[in-house]
Structure 1
Amino acid sequence: MTQQERPAAAAVLEQLNRIVSSGEFDASERNRRFLRYIVTETLDGRADRIKAYGIATAVFERDSGFDPQTDPIIRIEAGRLRRALAHYYLTAGQSDPIRITVPKGSYVPNFACMPDAPVVPAQAERTRHGGRRIRPWMAVAPVLLVLLTLGASWAGGFRPFGENVERQTPVERGPRIFIAPFEADSATTDHAGLASGVTRDIVAGLTRFEEMFILAPETSLRHGAREDLVALVRDLDVDYIVSGGLSATPERMRVTVALVDARSRQFLWSEAFEGDLSAGDPLRAQMQVADRVVRALAQPCGVIFNVRVRDIRGAPPGSLTSHECVLEYYRHYQGARAGYRAVTATPAPTPALPRFAGEGVP
Structure 2
Amino acid sequence: MPEPPSRAASLDERRALVARICNSPTFARTVRLREFLQYITTLALEGRAEQLTETHIARHVFARGDEFVPVDDSVVRSSARQLRLKLKEYFDAEGRDESWRVDVPKGSYVPVFTRRDSPPPGRPHAEAAISKRFRLSLAINLLLLCALLIGLWGRFAPAAAPDSVVRVFLKTTSGGVPIVVSDFSLAAMKYLFADQQGKAMGLDEYVAWDYSGMKPREDAPATEARAFELLRGHRLTRSGDLSLAVRILQAGGLDRRLNVRHARDVAPRELRSASHIILGNPNSTPWAEPYEARLGFRWLRGIGYEDLFPGQGEPSVYRIHGNSFVERGMGYGRLAVLPNLSGHGQVLLLSGVNMVTMEAAGEAATDPAIWAELQSRLGISSSRPLPAFEALLKTEAVDNTPQHAQIVKARLIRK
Same fold (TM over 0.5): no
The structure whose residues are more often strand, as a share, is 2
* TM-score normalised according to structure 2 size: 0.38
